[in-house]
Amino acid sequence: MRLRAFRYCAKVKEMYRTTIRNAALGVALCLLCLMNTTNRVEASAPPKARAGATSKSFGKQKNGKQVELITVTNNRGMVAKIMTYGAILTELHVPDKKGTLGDVVLGFDNLATYEKGHPYFGATVGRIANRVAKGKFTLDGREYTLAVNNGPNHLHGGLVGFDKVIWNAKLMTTAEGSAVQFTYVSKDDEEGYPGNLSVAVTYTLTNENALRIDYVATTDKATPCNLTNHSYFNLAGKGDITNHIVMLDADRFVDVDDTLIPTGKLPTVKGTKMDFTTPHAIGDHIAEVGAEPTGYDHCYVANRAGGVKKFAEVYEPSTGRVMTMYTDQPGVQFYTGNFLDGTLTGKDGIVYKKHSGFCLEAGTFPDAVNQPSFPDSILRPGETYRQTTEYRFSVR
């Protein structure tokens, strides 16, 4: 009896040990599977974008000067490319509603085409952005004469404005994202302007998918100063922009004559084809605005002054991309690429036809240097010119 009991107890103990071993083995196998699964998930997860700014050669000018192309990336993968020639924004890659990056600015993929001449694609423009009537202005009792390069008027700084010079570049990293600062000294009497003007333009690509442009300038003589960026945007990446839905926070615009020089009047947009206070497609009235070629090329008066405020919102339905513009400037020139005529071929072989892009150029009003009632555009020694414009991108 005792022997049978002993054998029975031994058998129970062995069964118990086997159960424990099997359980332990099962737990180990489960842990191993879990680790393998975790490893597979981590391996398949998209890597975080490597933010920063890098520089490489973009070729040499005809005069032999080297031009650098700076690539700025944020930690979400958005990319901006700006070159030292003209401090020109050549590419801006922004995600659509599917997360696919696409280039949303017009431009070229080589320096030679930029040098041949173009309608200020992506350029930093100055000393005076926009037009000066008959290329003349009077400052402190002296008349100054500028180049006439747009019909009877001076446009965007003259024959060799800021868009055609080589800027010095400094790559930077900030708490907000990655950046590049461009600097240039415009010498006294350059393009007919008085004073040595020292300019710094900083492009910052924030980790919130915004491109911010900060301008700072000082002078040793009184001089006009009105800087802007002249990027042509197309949120679909190609085609025309007539389906883009636009809202502008502006109840008035600057009335102009047939050479696009202001008459001095600031009429209301209410009840006119100029009204974008309620969002609608660019193409709704574009054929009814302006002389041939028709389209918008008008400075809108910002409703809110002081500080960086929202001025515009643009939505492209097919990609879902939204661009929201903030600025501290009193006016924004809204231009719809009216003079693009299919003679220019850009990146990826895209032919730039009429209305292939739109511009939102922040600054003071056109010909402000000759219009006493307009916001002052004169910078004097001891003062600092500052301007900030930001283009924020999202999807809908």
Distance CA 146, CA 136 (A): 6
For residue 212, what are the β-bridge partners? 204, 390
pLDDT at 221 (0 to 100): 98
**DSSP track, 273-319:** TT--SS-EEGGGTGGGSSSSSPS-EEEEEPS--SSSEEEEEEE-TTT
Distance CA 276, CA 250 (A): 8
Catalytic site includes residue 244: no
pLDDT in tens, 351-393: 999 999 999 999 999 999 999 999 999 999 999 999 999 999 9
List, in order, residues 6 or more apart from 178 with CB less than 8 Å away: 51, 52, 53, 72, 73, 74, 172, 204, 205
Question: Which pairing describes strands 280-281 and 359-363: parallel, antiparallel, or unpaired?
Answer: unpaired
pLDDT in tens, 236-254: 999 999 999 999 999 999 9
Neighbours of 291 (CB within 10 A): 10
What's the distance, CA 13 to chain centroid? 76
CA quadruple 241, 243, 245, 251: dihedral, nearest 10: 70
Amino acid at 107: G
List helix spans (H) across 155-304.
none
List the chain domain ranges: 1-45, 52-395
Q: What is the DSSP letter of 156?
A: T
Distance CA 101, CA 122 (A): 19
Distance CA 99, CA 80 (A): 17
SS3 sequence, 239-263?
CCCCCCEEEECCCEECCECCCCCEC
Q: What is the DSSP letter of 105?
A: B
Catalytic site includes residue 361: yes
pLDDT in tens, 117-131: 999 999 999 999 999
pLDDT at 48 over 90: no
CB contact at 8 A, 71 and 54? yes
Q: Which of 91, 316, 361, 390 is catalytic?
A: 361
Q: Which of 118, 230, 298, 355 is catalytic?
A: 230
> How is the beta sheet containing 331-335 ordered, strand by strand?
252-253, 297-301, 331-335, 359-363
pLDDT in tens, 256-314: 999 999 999 999 999 999 999 999 999 999 999 988 899 999 999 999 878 999 999 99
Distance CA 276, CA 280 (A): 7
Domain boundaries 52-395, CATH class = mainly beta
pLDDT at 92 over 80: yes
pLDDT in tens, 49-88: 688 999 999 999 999 999 999 999 999 999 999 999 999 9
